[in-house]
């Protein structure tokens, strides 16, 4: 059974179809790429899948405990709670908060302490807060950020800000992680480190990853399957080898004749 099933998804902005009749499936514990030229509709598709936009038509169903549940009409925080996490093309951290606080904000999505316990500060509340801090530091340690817990997010180097955004998304304990151009603005060494990191995340956290990326070497190296968008439509789907030799993809994305 697929973990996420998208059927005939369409989003119109006025007379423009930014995404048109897109269908795709994601399965448990796989790493999938989503590529296409600038303006192809990749980020719009992410925004539809995560509740930022509501579709004009089509369906998005997530498997939860053996049953399909629709994501249509759900708020972004509902979708996060259901198990979809994401990063953004332009880094969106709480830049005036510490590294630790950024991760704790992600963890609060799964916090089970009630509002009353938070107001009167019960022992259970303090125990929960302490456990979250320990879990956050343990997560930061995996990504070599444990020595930066007290630093403001805005003071981190660019590559570390990218890593922190991924850590915050993982703190929500997602079933599916959407990465929107995580290598944007990175130098070759940072991109190589990110490639290894994405592999590690998929392996160690046993989650599904959908990756938007323009760095074709990264996509070809880490993805098991690849979907290709052009002008909001899905024009190809296959393994990296199949996509590399697909004439429609070569023409639309790789500059062929």
List pLDDT tens digits, range 68-100: 999 999 999 999 999 999 998 888 899 999 999
Q: Which domain holds residue 99?
A: 93-171
Average pLDDT, the chain: 89
Within a domain: 132: yes
Regarding whether 194 and 152 lie in a shared domain, the answer is no
Tokens of 190: 């940072």
Within a domain: 59: yes
Within a domain: 40: yes
Regarding whether 180 and 76 lie in a shared domain, the answer is yes
Regarding whether 146 and 253 lie in a shared domain, the answer is no
Regarding whether 238 and 129 lie in a shared domain, the answer is no
Regarding whether 120 and 73 lie in a shared domain, the answer is no
pLDDT at 11 (0 to 100) = 97
Within a domain: 88: no
Domains in the chain, number:
2
Domain final residue, candidates 147, 171, 195: 171
Average of pLDDT values for 13-31?
Answer: 95
Regarding whether 79 and 7 lie in a shared domain, the answer is yes
Regarding whether 247 and 182 lie in a shared domain, the answer is yes
Regarding whether 182 and 122 lie in a shared domain, the answer is no
Is the pLDDT confidence value at 56 over 80?
A: yes
Domain final residue, candidates 171, 195, 214: 171
Q: What is the pLDDT of residues 183-230, one digit of tens each?
A: 888 888 888 888 898 999 988 999 999 999 888 888 999 999 999 999
Regarding whether 97 and 165 lie in a shared domain, the answer is yes
Give the domain CATH number at 6: 3.40.50.300
Regarding whether 209 and 141 lie in a shared domain, the answer is no
Within a domain: 215: yes
pLDDT at 253 (0 to 100) = 61
Within a domain: 48: yes
Regarding whether 151 and 34 lie in a shared domain, the answer is no
Within a domain: 69: yes
Regarding whether 45 and 57 lie in a shared domain, the answer is yes
Domain final residue, candidates 145, 171, 197: 171
pTM, entire model: 0.88
């Amino acid at each position: 059974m697929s973990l996420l099933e998208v059927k005939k998804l369409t989003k119109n902005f006025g007379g423009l179809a930014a995404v048109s009749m897109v269908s795709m499936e994601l399965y448990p514990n796989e790493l999938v790429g989503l590529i296409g030229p600038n303006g192809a509709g990749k980020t719009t598709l992410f925004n539809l899948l995560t509740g930022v936009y509501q579709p004009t038509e089509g369906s998005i169903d997530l498997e939860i405990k053996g049953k399909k549940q629709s994501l249509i009409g759900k708020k972004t925080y509902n979708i996060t709670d259901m198990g979809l996490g994401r990063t953004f093309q332009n880094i969106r951290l709480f830049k005036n908060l510490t590294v630790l606080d950024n991760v704790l904000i992600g963890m609060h999505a799964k916090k089970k302490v009630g509002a009353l316990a938070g107001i009167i500060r019960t022992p259970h509340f303090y125990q929960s807060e302490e456990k979250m801090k320990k879990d956050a530091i343990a997560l930061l340690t995996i990504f070599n950020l444990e020595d930066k817990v007290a630093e403001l997010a805005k003071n981190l180097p660019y590559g570390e800000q990218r890593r922190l955004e991924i850590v915050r998304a993982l703190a929500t304990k997602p079933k599916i992680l959407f990465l929107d151009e995580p290598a944007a603005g990175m130098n070759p060494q940072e991109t190589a480190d990110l490639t290894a990191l994405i592999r590690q995340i998929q392996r160690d956290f046993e989650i599904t990853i959908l990756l938007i990326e323009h760095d074709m070497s990264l996509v070809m190296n880490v993805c098991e399957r690849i979907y290709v968008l052009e002008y909001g439509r899905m024009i190809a789907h296959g393994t990296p080898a199949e996509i590399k030799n697909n004439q429609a993809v070569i023409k639309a994305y790789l500059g062929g004749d």
